[in-house]
Amino acid sequence: MNERGLAALLIALMTLPLLAHTAPYVYGNPEEPNAVFPAPESHEPLSKGVVLILLDGVGESIMLDENKMPKLHDRLTGSAVLSLTTGPITLSATATSEMMTGVPNAPVDGFRNFRLSHPGGTDPWLSAAEDPRYTVGMVGSYVMGNLYDPFPEIEFVNTFGGNGDYYDGDAETTRLGLEWLEERRHNVMALHYSGTDKVGHHWGIETETYHKKLLHVDGQVDQVLNALPSGWTAIVTADHGMTSTGSHGSSEAVTREVAAVLIGGGVRQGVTLDGHQRDLAALLPALLDLPFPAQLHGQIPLDALALLPGEAERLEAWNWQAAVERATFHQVQDGGPPLDASTIEWSRVQSDEGLNRPSDVALSAVTWAVLLGLAARWAHRRHGGGWYGALAGGAGLIVLLSAQASLGWSAMVPRGLGAVAAAALTRLALAPDGDWTDGHARADRREIGGLLGLTFLVLLFGDASQAIVVGCMGSVGLLAFRAGQNRPLPSWNASAPAVGAVLVLLAASYGSLRVWFVLPVLFGWGFGRVVERLRTSPSIASLDWTAGLTALAALGLLLPHRRILDGNLLLELVRMDPFGGVTSGLFSLVLLALTAGVWTLHVHGHLRPMSPVLWMLITVMAVRFARTTFVDWVVLGILLVVYMTAARDVLDKSRSGTLPKGVFEAALTGHMLLIWGPWAALTSLCVLVVAPRLVEATGDRQVTRYLWVTHAVLPWVLVATWWTMLGQVDGVQTCHEGLCPYPRELDPGTVVLNGGYVGARGNPSDQWIGVMVVMPLLVVIGSLCWAFMRAGVDLRPYLTLQGLLIVGCLATLAFAPSYPRLVFALSYNALFAALQIVVAAAVMLLDAQSGQKHQFALSA
């Protein structure tokens, strides 16, 4: 087995213990206490029956808007209104599960949204079904069905007619609900209206189509409320909110803000309260005199209930008893004295605490130690001086492990170190070969001295976490500055290359690696080359493709800061509806013209008037506007023919190429336009045509001893740049420490789903939507890999880098059970790395099968 094959085997072997021991603990459904606390003896039901009305995707600001849901708004004065915050995973199934069971989602639940089953144990709905006083019925989508259909004592009717059923399913839900109320078939009911979510996904929530749907569902809900029997209670709420373009799933505030309107028996009118979505699960035991499960992590909204004197105190003590049982079961520790059932302290049990197992932490440390040993041995064989590499790597490993183990002290420090790691890898990949002079050494000492001075100043007037994060952010800026100067690497890299090699492998395996921070260094490098060219020839005509790459990096630097700019502006460009108004339409045409210009420059080397690609792009825009399934299939068929022809050209050695130059890129650009929109099409084409030219720009000046780093990092850098352009990477935010990396840098909740309706405009399945959205992304990543291979880049180091990143993410899971967002982020990072491995490996296999070295359509 050769060296590279052995590296792949070792990486795979390192993942096995983590997958066998740590992953099942983190990804499995956590155990919950099975204790159940009977209602206080003196407590009587506050309601004769309950109807939960769940409006899918209707956020608080919309539900309470007089113009959008006028009939519900007219009832607010005679109701109690709860302003609720959902959990961080704002998907329909996860939010509905928390709302009805009261059990916090496991981080992995976001990945099984479409098949999310009941978390186990009991909950108020199951308790009601077992109580002879009540019968339970539910009508709605598969979300409730996945949770409760397996329980025969609950009647569930599925009215979900597919993703293209905007009205019929909701009307059927109302019909059955009214029928059950009239017949008194059930006295505990749940009605799920999913049409609003589907309309929002397709058209966005700021359109007339969505407003029309809101008025429709408002009328449906009003019919149910008018039929509500005397003494019953209705709870009108939503599972999650939506962004303006109909997306959800991430932790954006607008997706987490929902309302609950309580109407009828047992409700104290005119009350407005704040709470958590799980408090709705805690409400049912109080309304219906049911047992309170200890696994239910919610607080009864007592101020919203019409209670007798002293009853609130008894109910709160009952609720607190269950909360103490759950906290004790999960070994929640906040540094204070043990929780006492006789002393109510809600603030001590509000967070969702997990428990780091010592065995997982030990396995994580062993994994990194083994990786360090292997890296040092490999570096010694390659460069000599492996002991120096082991010592430097050991010091770095202590720093990284200490940061992960101190998440409770500062969550920003690991992110700051991850930012430095990403920037350092990019700097090393782009560093030129050259001599380290005395002038370089003096500048180096001045810059490092200034950075240390700034860090010390912050430490003097602030705290340690602020000093560390400021030092990290300053280091990123320093690396970008040096890349802009095209400065050679410091002399120690030449005298002790094993140290650099070990630190590279250690940085690549750091689970908190922050991909956005490749952009400052990429921008600095590109800006330096642009300035260098303008000094040589002060003319715009002298600029090359580096200027375009620098412009992309600049946009990636400036626009994706969600919490600073009140939104990721790159994501807003992706979400922009070309047919949403005159301004957006004209801007879209400008983007199409720019796209056609980039394609023409790439193929012909100069601009041409009336490019045929421009007319092709306009035609695709017309297809988007037509929203006709037959036309969609014609376009998809053409794309399939182009892709198959391209693959045949690669595999058939007897052919010199059936497709003319540029046709493949034009087809792929049209594909991105059809599914993802004009901005995504332009930026995807730009990244695609820049890839081989970036290799050409670095190849003649690259540090030979670190050429493997260039081959490992450059594809990753361009994939990260492209993913940022699609609005899928968030940058920085302000925090206690100053400027910090955004916590959920990669977030699948921001993926735009509108294009998933292509080819099935009437009623697409979830699987169809997923395939339509993901397919052009896979083709772009594959095309990037192919372009790099044609330019002479060995993709095997790239695969190694992504494999090490997966190992690092799995090892970091040991420190993450207490932090659901971190688990989710690590999981998505690992999944994204695995996707790149699969695509790159497929490209390498295709190349091996072809055995050809002829010019392909993607070559520059």
DSSP, residue by residue, 729-744: B--EEEETTEEEE-SS
Both structure tokens of 37: 């606390």
Worst-scoring range by mean pLDDT, 4-18, 137-151, 618-632, 797-811? 4-18
Tokens of 812: 């970091």
Distance from C-alpha of 107 to C-alpha of 816, rounded to nearest angstrom = 10
- For residues 714 and 788, the answer to whether their CB atoms sit within 8 Å is yes
Q: What are phi and psi of 165, to 5 degrees?
A: -95, 95
Lowest-confidence range among 150-154, 199-203, 625-629, 662-666?
Answer: 199-203
pLDDT at 840 over 90: yes
Separation of alpha carbons 98 and 87, rounded Å: 8
Work out the percent of the chain whose per-residue pLDDT is above 70.
93
Tokens 């909950």, residue located: 123
446-461 mean pLDDT: 79
Measure the CA–CA gap between 253 and 735, rounded to whole angstroms. 17
Non-local CB neighbours of 845 within 8 Å, separated by 6+ positions: none
Please tell me the predicted confidence (pLDDT) of residue 215: 97
Residue 208 and residue 244 in contact, taking contact as beta carbons nearer than 8 Å: no
Task: Give pLDDT tens digits for 511-526.
Answer: 888 899 999 999 999 9
- Tens digits of residue pLDDT in 311-364: 999 999 999 999 999 988 877 655 567 888 888 989 888 665 455 778 888 999
So what's the pLDDT on residue 856? Answer: 40
Q: Any idea of the CA torsion for 224, 225, 230, 235, to the nearest 10 degrees?
A: 100
Give the model confidence (pLDDT) of 530-576 as tens digits: 888 888 877 776 677 888 899 999 999 999 988 788 788 999 999 89
- Indicate the SS3 state at residue 115: helix
Rounded to an integer, the average pLDDT of 576-592 is 91
Beta bridge pairs of residue 189: 51, 137
Residue 2, pLDDT score: 61
- DSSP secondary structure string, 581-617? -HHHHHHHHHHHHHHHHHHHHHHHSS--SS-HHHHHH
> What does the buried/exposed string (b/e) look like for 279-299 if buried means 16 or more CB atoms within 10 Å of the residue's CB?
bbbbbbbbbbbbbbbbbbbbb
In the predicted model, is pLDDT for residue 736 greater than 80?
no
Domains (ranges, CATH) in the chain?
64-306 (3.40.720.10), 309-350 (no CATH), 357-500 (no CATH), 561-850 (no CATH)
- pLDDT of 704: 60
- Phi-psi map region of 496: left, alpha, beta (phi>0 left; psi -120 to 50 alpha): beta
Structure confidence at residue 106 as a pLDDT band (50, 70, 90):
confident
pLDDT of 859 > 50? The answer is no
What confidence tier does 858 reach under pLDDT thresholds 50, 70, 90?
very low
How many whole angstroms separate alpha carbon 667 and alpha carbon 204? 27
Higher pLDDT among residues 647 and 622, named by residue: 622
Pairing of β 80-85 and β 257-264: antiparallel
Question: Which amino acid, one-letter code, is at 714?
Answer: L
Region 140-152: mean pLDDT is 93
Does residue 119 have a pLDDT over 80?
Answer: yes
> What per-residue confidence (pLDDT) applies to 655?
58
Task: Encode pLDDT of 15-72 as tens digits.
Answer: 888 989 888 888 877 788 999 999 998 889 999 999 999 999 999 999 999 999 999 9
pLDDT interval class at 234 (50, 70, 90): very high
* Structure tokens, 61: 């600001």
Question: C-alpha dihedral over 400, 406, 408, 411, to 10 degrees?
Answer: -30
Sign of the CA dihedral with 521 first, then 523, 529, and 531 last: negative
Q: Over range 604-631, report the average pLDDT.
A: 87
357 is written with which tokens? 């197992």
Dist CA 143 CA 240 (whole Å): 13
Residue 275, phi then psi, degrees to nearest 5? -175, -170
Residues in a beta bridge with 130 = none
Identify which has the larger pLDDT, 537 or 7: 537
Burial of 14 (C-beta count, 10 Å sphere; 0-12/13-18/19+): buried
Distance separating alpha carbons of residues 727 and 721, to the nearest angstrom: 10
The CA distance from 196 to 218, in Å, is: 11
- At 857, the pLDDT band (50, 70, 90 cuts) reads very low
Name the strand (E) or helix (H) holding 53: strand 49-55
Q: What mean pLDDT, rounded, does the chain reach?
A: 87
Least confident of 104-118, 361-375, 576-590: 104-118
700 falls in which pLDDT band (50, 70, 90)? low
Non-local (6+) Cβ contacts of 13 within 8 A are none
Coarse DSSP helix, strand, coil percentages of the chain, rounded to the nearest 5 percent: 60, 10, 30
Look at residues 684, 662, 853, 654 and name the one whose alpha carbon lies nearest to residue 782. 684
Closest CA to 379 of 361, 397, 393: 393
Rounded Cα–Cα distance for residues 237 and 228 (Å): 16
Q: Does the pLDDT value for residue 138 go beyond 60?
A: yes
**Greater model confidence, 646 or 229:** 229
| Range with lowest mean pLDDT among 118-132, 225-239, 268-282, 841-855 | 841-855
Q: Which residues of 416-430 are buried (b: 16+ CB within 10 A; e: fewer)?
A: bbbbbbbbbbbbbbb
Q: Which of 779, 545, 768 is nearest to 681 (CA)?
A: 779
- What letter does residue 351 receive in the DSSP assignment? S
What own/partner pairs with CB < 8 Å and gap ≥ 24 does 640-649 have? Answer: 642/667, 643/667, 643/779, 646/857, 647/846, 649/856, 649/857
Q: What is the pLDDT, as a whole number, of residue 772?
A: 93
Contact 458, 467 (CB under 8 A): yes
Tell me the pLDDT tens digit for each residue of 740-793. 888 777 776 677 777 888 998 878 888 898 899 999 999 999 999 999 998 889
* Residues contacting 303, CB < 8 A, separation 6+: 268, 271, 273
Q: Say whether pLDDT at 627 is over 80.
A: yes
Helices 707-725 and 545-558: crossing angle in degrees, nearest 10, is 60
- State which amino acid sits at residue 125: W
Mean pLDDT of 296-317: 94
